Amino acid sequence: MTAPSIERPRPAHPRPAFWQPHWQAGFAQLGPAFVRQVLPTPLPAPHWVATSAAVGELLQLPVGWQQSHDLLEAFSGNALLPGCQPLASVYSGHQFGVWAGQLGDGRALLLGQVQGQEVQLKGSGRTPYSRMGDGRAVLRSSIREFLCSEAMHALAVPTTRALCLTGSPAPVAREELESAAVLTRVAPSFIRFGHFEHFAARRQYAELRQLADFVIERWYPHCREQADPSGRATYAALLREVSERTARLIAQWQAVGFCHGVLNTDNMSILGLTLDYGPFQFLDGFDPGHICNHSDTQGRYAFDRQPAIGWWNLHALAQALMPLIDDAHAAEAALASYEAVFTEAYVALLRAKLGLARPCAGDADLVQQTLALLAAEQVDWSIFWRRLAQAAGQDDYAAVRELFADRVAFDAWLLRYKELTALAGQGFEPDLMLKSNPKYVLRNYLAEQAIAQARQGNFEELQTLQTLLARPFDEHPGFGRYAGFPPEWASRISISCSS
């Protein structure tokens, strides 16, 4: 496929660049079977929308980079950083359980690797893999991804990060005309399950092995400790590592009430990171079967199906790695720990939310009883847990009890809760609970309010959310309304795959 003809952008200023990164060898070294060089498509009149000082520090950007016009141009696709050769990578994947064939970075460009982190522009124009798309991102979805990736990091959930977001008045056609935006996102790697599926499906086994060896060398070197001259055990060990990382990741999603919305295999990270924030949602009322993506008409990616979908996607990865593992029993054995790792991680996270610092007899049963109690009345997920953390510290559960219409059921649960801690010989640990139950999460309605203001050129609400979500376990006096119940209209917000 021939790359589209794109005019090479010119730097807005002839003076030396504000930032001259030291690019490190990374994914690009794999060669032309994996990536294509392509220039970003310039955007008119770009402006800053949001920046992350923490990610700037991670990349060791110079002080004051948020005011640099040179970087504004570079992170909008209007100029190239010194030594930068942007790349788009090819991958394939299963979408909604159906093989979709070749996909790839249709609107993302890898600028390079700095400080061990890949830096990528999302929304910077067409690539050889855009298919029928325009390669653009819109302000609405870009704000959501910027806020959520940084919020997830603050919740200690593995995720890609967001360095900055720029906007432009350029129109982009989606379900309606919207304005364009470019998100600069950062991760140790953006390699997906779909990268492996691509080369396996095309029987390009040399490239498949090259990719697997690259991943093992960079992030899973201990997999080579297997005493196996053929190397098959090494690739089975890689599959096991990815499986267990994925299990722990999804356990963390379930514990914070996070719905991904589009768990296609091309949206699954080989490093166990939360990748590609599309129609995501943090739960309001606890409905285990909640579907956050209105494009998901069959409910494939409902909240309570996420652990099973992770398992399904890992089987797709296992199938892709079979030419290297060459042993179905070894592949099955590599995936065998998924359920146990997920359950152990999930129960441990819920145990901490309940204030139990150590495992004890009956804790898994209490977790299930708690989930059933919340589901029966679809009690607000975040508010219940935060109030419980505060109640345990004061031994006053009135504010928790008022969340339930069936007070008898709640009282019975509370009795079991107190009895368990007494029998286990450990009291509640309010500090652990407060550090395990965030007060602030990125509810859909909060994002919508920030987006509405941003469309008018006002980024104050976005900045407020960024501040609160960066420290979600703190009280933030004066901002309690951001942790309150969602308004009635929040239930009518519809999020789809369109972005």
d(CA 159, CA 482): 23
Say whether pLDDT at 395 is over 50: yes
Domain match, 229 and 296 both: yes
Say whether pLDDT at 487 is over 90: yes
With tokens 């196996």, the residue in question is 228
Say whether pLDDT at 356 is over 80: yes
d(CA 105, CA 122): 9
Enzyme catalytic residues: 266
Say whether pLDDT at 208 is over 50: yes
Domain match, 299 and 370 both: no
Half-sphere exposure at residue 11, Cβ-oriented, CA atoms within 13 angstroms: 15
Listed residues 347, 366, 381: the one ending a domain:
347
Domain match, 171 and 254 both: no
CB 269 within 8 A of CB 243: no
Domain match, 332 and 417 both: no
Listed residues 291, 324, 347: the one ending a domain:
347
CA distances to 123, 144, 457 from 467, in Å: 25, 15, 19
At residue 195, the pLDDT reads 98
Residue 317, token pair as written in the block: 């990865």
At residue 226, the pLDDT reads 65
CB 146 within 8 A of CB 160: no
Q: Specify if 460 maps to a domain.
A: no
Question: How far separated are the first and last CA of the chain, in Å rounded?
Answer: 25
Q: Specify if 122 maps to a domain.
A: yes
Q: Specify if 270 maps to a domain.
A: yes
Domain match, 160 and 293 both: no
- The pLDDT tens digits of the residues spanning 268-281 come to 999 999 999 999 99
Q: Specify if 446 maps to a domain.
A: no
- How far is C-alpha 108 from the chain's CA centre? 16
Say whether pLDDT at 334 is over 50: yes
- What mean pLDDT is reported for the chain? 93
Q: Specify if 299 maps to a domain.
A: yes
At residue 14, the pLDDT reads 37
Domain match, 170 and 301 both: no
The whole domain housing 177 covers 27-187
Listed residues 436, 462, 482: the one ending a domain:
436
Say whether pLDDT at 262 is over 50: yes
Say whether pLDDT at 203 is over 50: yes
What is the arithmetic mean of pLDDT over 403-426? 89
Domain match, 363 and 332 both: no
Domain count for the chain: 3
pLDDT band at 96 (very low <50, low <70, confident <90, very high): very high
Using only C-alpha atoms, the chain has a radius of gyration, in whole angstroms, of 23
Question: What single-letter DSSP state applies at residue 224?
Answer: G
Q: Specify if 230 maps to a domain.
A: yes
Q: How many CB atoms are located within 10 Å of the residue 395 CB?
A: 9
Name 250's Cβ contacts closer than 8 Å, sequence gap at least 6: 306, 307, 310, 342
Domain match, 56 and 179 both: yes
Say whether pLDDT at 10 is over 70: no
Q: How many CB atoms are located within 10 Å of the residue 365 CB?
A: 11
CA distances to 109, 136, 181, 288, 434 from 121, in Å: 5, 10, 10, 35, 36
Least confident of 38-47, 214-223, 284-293, 429-438: 429-438
Domain match, 43 and 179 both: yes
Percent of the chain residues topping a pLDDT of 90 = 85
Domain match, 49 and 171 both: yes
Question: What single-letter DSSP state applies at residue 159?
Answer: B
Q: Specify if 161 maps to a domain.
A: yes
Question: Between residues 358 and 255, which one has the greater pLDDT?
Answer: 255
Domain match, 50 and 183 both: yes
Domain match, 161 and 310 both: no
Cα 481–352–445 angle (5° rounding)? 25
Say whether pLDDT at 499 is over 70: no
At residue 309, the pLDDT reads 98
Q: Specify if 37 maps to a domain.
A: yes
d(CA 78, CA 168): 12
Model pTM?
0.94
